[in-house]
């Protein structure tokens, strides 16, 4: 079934195949192999290519590969990583293995890695690179260019150049493009943008990433609490964070803990664990539906037809709620909606809910009338109207409330909304039924 681009049986063919392909292609295909095959192919790579491929691999795959290599190779590969990528890899590893690896690095790389590891896991400091090129405002363009050439081999980027004063405080940012267009004797201080945005190392990664994206920047300087420059976040790392955050949101919207690793490198047990807690919590919440129904057991017994519409009604209510919940989760994530917009959101979503409820209620009347008679049709239509209105409103408010109390809005999304709406929906359904069917 799996079309394998490598001939794993014939070492000579395999050797030729990996030699022909570029690092990007190899990294992608390696991600799709089983661990032993991945190690087999990787060991055939020439040293430089091995490093290039290794850098492009996911941290989970990197860790796995290292386990199958000789110590010397391991240290070489880890030493060759950018400090921020190295930190991501170390985060994947058991603490003891990580310590051993760290100890094997050169003092310079060790120092830089330790600095990054000092920042908390979701902070901007954790993903910044400490290998940047720092300019001084008093430098001339030709001095700056000479200095950039000298530092380029170790710096992660030379296209965005932070400028600092004598106390190493950030005073501006200049782009390489501006230097290239300026005269040799111009001063960096006159070319730089003194108002350029920066971010504090202890701020949330996501804030940094959104800023990079909103401002179309290639990198953003990271400073400490005294505005001293400590690093630079580059756009490639920002993109990775963006993808990871999206995966997290999507997992939570689907009612599971984020895996944080590629699907196939997560074991069955881990998959079960990431799902079972949520399921249990949701089941506990759903016990309310059993309670509500048991209150109305007599009504149910008398008019069993009412039971026929329970799944349809709850399903529709759940869908309305899920729609507005996911809309809101997304709008909050992108910053389109903020907490301050609460009232505007309530107004809009109430109106949307009313319109959806009216439409669906009216459309349901005729078919249910034909199927189950007029009284039941009226109960169903009125319930659809009420449930759609309520669940749209609930769906939009729960993520906002979650954000308000400091919980990831995605957590308060579809599955919880559905469970909540189920209980409310049943209550509404039977209350309306009791009134209309005159119990």
Rounded Cα–Cα distance for residues 105 and 309 (Å) = 66
| Residue window 121-150: x/- pattern of binding to a second copy, with contact defined by CB under 8 A | ------------------------x--xx-
8 near a second copy, judged by CB under 8 A: no
Beta pairing partners, 135: 163
CA 400 to chain centre: 18
Rounded Cα–Cα distance for residues 2 and 375 (Å) = 57
Instruction: Pick between residue 73 and residue 319 the one whose CB is nearest to a second copy.
Output: 319
State which of residues 50, 139, 199, 331 lies at the interface with a second copy (CB under 8 A): 331
Q: What is the dihedral of CA 67, 70, 76, 82, to 10 degrees?
A: 0
State which of residues 11, 46, 290, 435 lies at the interface with a second copy (CB under 8 A): 290
Rounded Cα–Cα distance for residues 20 and 126 (Å) = 36
Binders of a second copy in range 260-279 (CB under 8 A): 262-264, 268, 271-272, 275-276, 278-279
Instruction: Pick between residue 98 and residue 161 the one whose CB is nearest to a second copy.
Output: 161
The answer to whether the CB of 400 falls within 8 A of the CB of 342 is yes
Rounded Cα–Cα distance for residues 349 and 111 (Å) = 52
CA 389 to chain centre: 30
Sign of CA dihedral 116, 330, 57, 52: negative
Q: Which stretch binds a second copy (CB under 8 A): 109-117, 212-220, 224-232, 399-407?
A: 212-220
236 near a second copy, judged by CB under 8 A: yes
CA proximity to 392, closest of 308, 295, 309, 327? 327
State which of residues 15, 43, 100, 348 lies at the interface with a second copy (CB under 8 A): 348
- HSE-CB of 13 using CA atoms within 13 angstroms: 6
The answer to whether the CB of 59 falls within 8 A of the CB of 91 is yes
State which of residues 102, 341, 365, 437 lies at the interface with a second copy (CB under 8 A): 341
Distances, alpha carbon 119 to alpha carbons 107, 112, 204, in Å: 19, 12, 11
State which of residues 255, 361, 399, 409 lies at the interface with a second copy (CB under 8 A): 255
With contacts defined by CB under 8 A, how many residues of the chain interact with a second copy?
122
- Report in angstroms how near the CB of residue 82 gets to a second copy at its nearest: 10
Rounded Cα–Cα distance for residues 355 and 351 (Å) = 6
27 near a second copy, judged by CB under 8 A: yes
213 near a second copy, judged by CB under 8 A: yes
Instruction: Pick between residue 300 and residue 437 the one whose CB is nearest to a second copy.
Output: 300
Integer-rounded Cα Rg, in Å, for the chain is 29
158 near a second copy, judged by CB under 8 A: yes
Q: Which stretch binds a second copy (CB under 8 A): 68-76, 166-174, 298-306, 431-439?
A: 298-306
State which of residues 53, 123, 422, 430 lies at the interface with a second copy (CB under 8 A): 422
240 near a second copy, judged by CB under 8 A: yes
36 near a second copy, judged by CB under 8 A: no
Query: How far from each other are the two terminal CA atoms of the chain, in whole angstroms?
Result: 61
374 near a second copy, judged by CB under 8 A: no
- Report in angstroms how near the CB of residue 287 gets to a second copy at its nearest: 7
- Report in angstroms how near the CB of residue 132 gets to a second copy at its nearest: 13
Q: Tell me which H or E stretch contains 9.
A: none
19 near a second copy, judged by CB under 8 A: no
Q: Which residues contact 194 (CB under 8 A, 6 or more apart)?
A: 171, 172
Instruction: Pick between residue 2 and residue 96 the one whose CB is nearest to a second copy.
Output: 2
293 near a second copy, judged by CB under 8 A: yes
181 near a second copy, judged by CB under 8 A: yes
State which of residues 106, 120, 190, 359 lies at the interface with a second copy (CB under 8 A): 359
Q: Which residue has the tokens 């060790």?
A: 110
CA proximity to 130, closest of 119, 115, 120, 145? 115
- Report in angstroms how near the CB of residue 409 gets to a second copy at its nearest: 12
1 near a second copy, judged by CB under 8 A: yes
Sign of CA dihedral 143, 149, 152, 153: negative
The answer to whether the CB of 195 falls within 8 A of the CB of 173 is no
Size of the chain, expressed as the number of residues it contains: 439
Q: Which stretch binds a second copy (CB under 8 A): 95-103, 106-114, 118-126, 355-363?
A: 355-363
Instruction: Pick between residue 102 and residue 310 the one whose CB is nearest to a second copy.
Output: 310
State which of residues 286, 427, 436, 437 lies at the interface with a second copy (CB under 8 A): 286
State which of residues 47, 338, 374, 404 lies at the interface with a second copy (CB under 8 A): 338
């Amino acid at each position: 079934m799996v079309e394998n681009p490598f001939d794993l049986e014939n070492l000579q063919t395999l050797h030729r195949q990996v030699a022909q392909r570029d690092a990007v292609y190899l990294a992608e295909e390696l991600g799709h192999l089983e661990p032993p095959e991945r190690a087999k192919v990787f060991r055939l790579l020439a040293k430089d290519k091995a490093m290039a491929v290794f850098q492009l691999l996911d941290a989970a795959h990197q860790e796995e590969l290292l386990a199958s290599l000789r110590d010397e190779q391991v240290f070489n590969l880890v030493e060759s990583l950018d400090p921020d990528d190295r930190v991501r890899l170390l985060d994947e590893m058991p603490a003891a293995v990580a310590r051993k690896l760290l100890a094997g690095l050169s003092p310079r790389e060790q120092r830089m890695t330790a600095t990054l590891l000092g920042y908390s896991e979701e902070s901007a400091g954790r993903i910044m690179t400490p290998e940047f090129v720092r300019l001084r405002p008093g430098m001339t363009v030709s001095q700056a260019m000479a200095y950039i050439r000298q530092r380029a081999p170790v710096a992660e980027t030379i296209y965005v150049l932070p400028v600092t004063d004598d106390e190493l405080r950030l005073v501006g940012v200049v782009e390489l493009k501006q230097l290239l267009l300026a005269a040799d004797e111009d001063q960096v201080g006159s070319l730089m943008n003194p108002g350029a945005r920066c971010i504090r190392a202890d701020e949330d990664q996501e804030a940094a990433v959104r800023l990079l994206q909103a401002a179309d920047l290639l990198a953003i300087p990271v400073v400490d609490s005294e505005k001293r420059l400590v690093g630079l976040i580059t756009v490639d790392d920002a993109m990775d964070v963006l993808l990871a955050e999206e995966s997290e949101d999507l997992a939570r919207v689907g009612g599971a803990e984020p895996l944080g690793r590629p699907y196939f490198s997560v074991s069955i047990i881990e998959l079960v664990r990431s799902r079972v807690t949520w399921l249990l919590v949701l089941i506990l919440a759903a016990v309310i539906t059993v309670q509500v129904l048991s209150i109305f057991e007599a009504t149910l017994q008398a008019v069993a037809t009412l039971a026929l519409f329970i799944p349809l009604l709850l399903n529709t209510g759940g869908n309305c709620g899920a729609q507005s919940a996911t809309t809101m989760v997304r709008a909050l994530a992108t910053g389109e909606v903020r907490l301050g917009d609460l009232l505007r959101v309530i107004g809009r979503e109430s109106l949307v809910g009313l319109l959806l409820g009216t439409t669906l209620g009216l459309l349901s009347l005729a078919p249910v009338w034909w199927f189950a008679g007029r009284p039941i049709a009226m109960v169903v239509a009125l319930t659809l109207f009420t449930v759609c209105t309520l669940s749209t409103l609930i769906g939009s408010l729960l993520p906002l409330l979650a954000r308000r109390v400091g919980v990831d809005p995605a957590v308060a999304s579809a599955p919880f909304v559905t469970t909540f709406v189920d209980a409310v929906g049943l209550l509404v359904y039977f209350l309306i039924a009791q009134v209309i069917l005159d119990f």
